[in-house]
Every structure is written in C-alpha cells, then in structure tokens.
Structure 1
C-alpha cells in the first residue's frame, strides 16, 4: 500500500472474517464519535461479505427497507490504540469476524491493532477479545438486529425482521459465556449498566439531568433514522456538561482515555424530539482518576427509554500553568 494511501486494503482470512490495513484519515479520528461510525461501517461491510447480503439496500419479504440496526455496542481501549487517541496517518491492522446470533441478529467483533505489532493475520478468536485482550489494541463488539419501520412516517415503531436472503447458518457460533444478551437485558430493565454497583466504585456527587434537542443537521442518517454514532455524541455532550460543572477544562475532556464504553440502543426518535439525559458519576476508590459515567437517555415527552451507556474513563489532567 502506498505510504500516502488512506484506502483500506481488505482480504478475507476465512468466510466469516475480514482483515484490512488502514491509514487513519481525518474522517475517522476526533474527540467525538467519528471512529465509532467508521467501526460501524466495517461491521456492515463484514456482515455483507460473510452473509452474502446487500446490507446497504436490504429489503423485507414484502419489499420494505430493512436496516441492520445497532442494539449493543461495546468498545475497549488499549494503551496504544484507544477511541480518542488516533490521529492522521496512524497505521492500523483491523481484524473483524462475524458470528451468528439467530435468524434476525448478528454479532461482529473487531480488533484495531498497530500495524507494526506483528499479530498473526488469522480469524479473530473470541477468547482473545473477552479473556486475553492485547494491551496495545482496541476491541469493539457490535450486536446488530434487523429492523423495519411499522409505519412509513415514524421512527417510533420499529419491528424486528430480516431480509429473506440473510445467510447466517454457516457463520460460527459465539460461545455462550460471551453472549451479551443477559447484560443488555439487565441494563434495559435497570435503565443503566451500573446495577449492581461496579466493584471498587462509589457514586461521586448527585445525579445530574441534561436536556438535548435532536439536531437534524447532524443526528439523522440517510435513512431518516437517528444515526447510531450520534448516540455517542449525544452522551459525550452530556459528559462534557458534567465535566464543566466540575470545573474541568475542554482540554481535559479532549485528553480523556476511554477504557471501556457500553451502549445499549432501545429505541429511535423522530425529528424534533427532545431528550433528557440523566448522569451518575462513579469514582474508583483506589484510583480516583478513573471514573464511570452512567447515563440514561429518554424521550422528554413520553419518558420512553431510548439508550443507556456506561463510559469508564481515565480523566485527563489539568494543564500546567
């Protein structure tokens, strides 16, 4: 690959996997959600290749558009590669693997490694992702469900469905001990991932509530749905407001290191929606620089729960005078 190329060079180590070399471009690195959007694109591409389905133009049996929606998204940062630590020209080796999760769902794992780390270009092993992650790598887990609109003029009634050509039977199965179904179901019921309380953490300060008006110039995708990566931005907007209330600077926010972030997606919204975001901040008793922001996003009018997240962060230090 030429040194100045930003085009992904893709190969398939097996029928369920994609491997690519990536040069980080301006469109995939920032202090916000760009990298999460790019990983989501890789998920769609991996599913399209592994399931032999036109994910970008999928249709239900009756000809209605079908969308491979995000139900659960987890990312874990490493010492070298972490969500907000990428910059122009960084070279990565990205390994992706797709697993079957029933007739209407699919799960995809990704590893983002420094290109010079020298890891074997073989199908990604779930045991590495969940039990023995490489300390320099970033890992992402995407649990996706096929959906379609129940009414053409609304994003509120989304039905589970799948396109008839969705070929999943030959995909490998994810070992049961790694399934996120129970974790996400519990988070939906508890309206957050921090129930029970995270070991070693205690609530730091009172609960905060922020309001956010859906931004149709940024938050709506080409299908007219709230873009999955916008949820990251919306939660980060609330986190930034919380940090400012602590007297922290924007520079500290940009230097934050995401250790682990989980997002559960439980609903969508129509243009004009207003959200309320409740935030609880947890602090590690022995490592006070490590915090968890536990958030729930609801429709302000109906109270309907739309998404939850837990972001474990190493807070950036204040700049020297």
Structure 2
C-alpha cells in the first residue's frame, strides 16, 4: 500500500491505493463538505470523479469524445444510506473519516463507484471495499454511497436537452472488477424512469399518508448550474429538499426539526437536464411506517412544467423523533 501524490487530489487528504480499482483517503471534514444542503453529496461526487480518474486513466475534468466534444462523467443514479453513527446531514466541522472508494466496470460508457465513510479509528478491513458488504452486510456505524455514472456529451451546442451517451477513447475499464449481476442498479433505475417513481407499489412496512402538494420551482442560475453550464447533479438534492421542506411546513413541523432529521436512505435517478429559464413541477407522495411511527418515505418526481418531461425521481427515507413525527397526519 502506498500513499498517492497524484496531482489534482485535495490537499490535506492522505490517499492510498489498496488495488488498481480503489482509493482510500483519510478526511478531515471542512465547512465546504457538510451541512443541511447538498454539500456532502457534491463532495462524494468529487470523490467518485477522483476514483474513476485513478482507476480508468482518464482525465475526467477535461475529457473529450472521439469527435472532440467535451465529455462529462454524469450522474445517472445516486444512493446514500446512513447508519446509526453517520448520516448525510449529520457530519460537522472537524469530523475525521476514513473513506474507501472502489470502481466497478459497467460497460464501455459507464461505471459504478461504491464508497464507505467510516469514523476514524473504526476497525474496518484494509482490503478493497467488498460489494457484498455494501449491498448485503452494511455496517450500522458507517455511511455508504453508490454512484452509477454514464459518459455524456451535448448533442447541440448550447443546449442541455437531448444529451448523448459517448465515452472518451481513453476510458479504460476492462481491468476493473465486475459488479455482481444481483447488485446491478440498471434494472431498478430503468423501472423508476419508466414509472416516474422508485415505488410503483407502497414500500413494505409503510402505509400511504396524506398526499403532498405539487411544488413549482424555477431553475436558479446562481446555484443550480455547474461550471460546464449543465444542471449540477448535487443541485437536484437541494431542489428535492426544497420541495420536502415545503411539505414539512405544510404539516406544521418546524424548520429546526427538518435540519436535524436523520436520512437513512436516499436515492435519485437523473433522467434529464435543463437550460436556464426552465420551470419545474415537483410531485410529492409520502408513506409512514406501520410499526415504526418515526419512519417516513417521501417519493418525488421532477418534471419540466411546460412539456411534462421527466428530469429526475427521488426517494428519501427519514427517521423522525417523536415530536416531529407527531407534527402531521
């Protein structure tokens, strides 16, 4: 095992390479990495880009398709599972983490990257992150993230609609481990895209609650676009949380409880992008735990208000304390 000095990685983060598919880093959580918004999701996404760059020999920050168009390692599916000790909105300044990341081959135009965030000093295996641990035996004291990324490029200059799948010629992947078919997210995400939801049927152990309002949201060019002029993948988390906060308030729940909620499972499927000036409608459904009164799932769909085009779906499972759980039907 050796410490990496590869250019482009964050300074102050000690990096190791357990094997060619993996990165391990020791992290001190800074203000730009945590909070109630989308910062933690953006940071994990940056770690995905770092891991793919290291594992696949591709400069993901300046990649180009064979015809010279800029190519982007876009996020197609993003899942985060919080544990008893760590959850996405529970990180704060100065927390020390060990982050293990591993990239799996997933065809010539995509990749799946798994991450385990563990408190520093926790006894976790030294080898590469095992997919079986991630999917079958997650540790209650860790946070896990799954990123399914696809290479895309613009079909038309200046337009964020109709993005095309295309990988840079130097994207190498056949040497990477294969993700077991049982854990492939492709079918799950495909069904969610077709149905407009991750939950075509009520989730097991949950019952329908009062429906949420449909929210209107205008694309914010100050916050929601990245440096390439595309909608930033982490902004989708903030947009869905904006809708969830409106639902929260409509139930008579306080903002402090919303900030302090514990998210135990959150997933987003990214199915479209949008140009400046776009207006969205966000549809919200909600379920409450049958045997766990503090458990709730919010299911949301983001659509273009004019065309009805589906841009993303999200599912967020939250663990509420008794006071918050009693704040609405």
TM-score bracket for this pair, using the shorter chain length: over 0.9
The Cα of 1:98 is off from its aligned counterpart by: 0.1
Q: How does 1:302-321 map to 2 (within 5 A)?
A: 302-318=307-323
**Paired residue for 1:159, among 161, 164, 167?**
164
- Provide the C-alpha distance between the structure 1 equivalents of 2:215 and 2:257, rounded to a whole number of angstroms: 20
| Alignment of 1:204 onto 2:209 | yes
The Cα of 1:317 is off from its aligned counterpart by: 4.8
Cα contact 1:6–1:23 (8 A) shared by 2: no
Per-residue displacement from partner, 1:222-260 (whole Å, max 9, x unpaired)?
Answer: 000000000000000000000000000000001110110
The Cα of 1:213 is off from its aligned counterpart by: 0.5
TM-score normalised by L of structure 2: 0.94
**Paired residue for 2:70, among 65, 68, 84?**
65
Cα contact 1:259–1:314 (8 A) shared by 2: yes
The answer for the alignment partner of 2:6 in structure 1 is none
The Cα of 1:196 is off from its aligned counterpart by: 2.0
Cα contact 2:212–2:247 (8 A) shared by 1: no
Q: How does 1:266-281 map to 2 (within 5 A)?
A: 266-281=271-286
Cα contact 2:79–2:267 (8 A) shared by 1: yes
The Cα of 1:81 is off from its aligned counterpart by: 0.9
Gapped regions of structure 1 (runs ≥ 5) = none
**Paired residue for 1:232, among 227, 237, 241?**
237
Cα pair distance change 1:299/1:289, threshold 3 Å: same
| Alignment of 1:24 onto 2:29 | yes
The Cα of 1:206 is off from its aligned counterpart by: 2.2
- Report SS of the residue matched to 1:133: coil
- Provide the C-alpha distance between the structure 1 equivalents of 2:33 and 2:269, rounded to a whole number of angstroms: 22
Cα contact 1:6–1:22 (8 A) shared by 2: no
What count of residue pairs does the alignment treat as equivalent? 316
**Paired residue for 1:36, among 15, 33, 41?**
41
Cα contact 1:253–1:316 (8 A) shared by 2: no
- Provide the C-alpha distance between the structure 2 equivalents of 1:30 and 1:207, rounded to a whole number of angstroms: 25
- Provide the C-alpha distance between the structure 2 equivalents of 1:311 and 1:173, rounded to a whole number of angstroms: 28
Per-residue displacement from partner, 1:119-163 (whole Å, max 9, x unpaired)?
Answer: 122100000000000110000000000000000110001000000
The answer for the alignment partner of 2:115 in structure 1 is 110
Q: How does 1:87-166 map to 2 (within 5 A)?
A: 87-166=92-171
The Cα of 1:297 is off from its aligned counterpart by: 0.2
Cα contact 1:260–1:313 (8 A) shared by 2: yes
Cα contact 2:217–2:281 (8 A) shared by 1: yes
Q: How does 1:276-291 map to 2 (within 5 A)?
A: 276-291=281-296
The Cα of 1:207 is off from its aligned counterpart by: 3.9
**Paired residue for 2:298, among 271, 293, 308?**
293
- Report SS of the residue matched to 2:311: strand
Gapped regions of structure 2 (runs ≥ 5) = 4-9, 325-329
TM-score normalised by L of structure 1: 0.97
The answer for the alignment partner of 1:258 in structure 2 is 263
Cα contact 1:6–1:25 (8 A) shared by 2: no
- Report SS of the residue matched to 1:41: helix
The answer for the alignment partner of 1:79 in structure 2 is 84
